[in-house]
Amino acid sequence: MVRFLIRLVINLAVAMLALWLTSLLLDDFNITFEGLVIAAAIFAVLQAILAPFIFNMARKYASFLLGGVGLVSTFLALWITTLITDGLSISGITAWVVGTLIVWLISAIGGWALGLIFLKERAENRS
């Protein structure tokens, strides 16, 4: 249970960082300060739901797409988040493509690094 909560906090923090940094890097990728927390929470929940679903579908029906599961789930999570909240808006093909890549990259690296730091520390404390 504690591991789940740590992972949840890490995913929320990484989503907030990824969305915020992407909004700084791209002109057509806009997020309001108020919308950042809401958009990050929606995005993190959608990622948690969509990634395993898309992975299983790709594995079952299109194994050649397995490498792109993270990008597809990131794109879908961004798209659904823009539909649900006014705090995030993305306009233009370039902002969608590059924004998806940046958010995915920051999420992947940030989630891996923070997970390694916090979950490894927790495992060492249990020993």
3-state SS record for 76-124:
HHHHHHHHHCCCEEECCHHHHHHHHHHHHHHHHHHHHHHHHHHHHHHHH
> Which residues form the domain of 86?
2-126
Mean pLDDT of 87-112: 92
pLDDT score at 108: 86
- How many CB atoms sit inside 10 A of residue 81's CB? 26
CB-count burial class (<10 Å; 0-12, 13-18, 19+) for 84: middle
User: pLDDT at residue 96 above 90?
Assistant: yes
> Phi/psi at 116 (nearest 5 deg)?
-65, -45
The total of structural domains in the chain comes to 1
pLDDT of residue 34: 82
**How does residue 1 score in pLDDT terms, banded at 50, 70 and 90?**
low
**Is 77 or 68 the better-scoring residue by pLDDT?**
77
Query: Is there a contact between 17 and 36 (Cβ–Cβ < 8 Å)?
Result: no
At 127 the pLDDT is: 62
Measured in degrees and rounded to the nearest 5, phi and psi for residue 7 equal -60, -40
Radius of gyration (C-alpha) of the chain in whole angstroms: 15
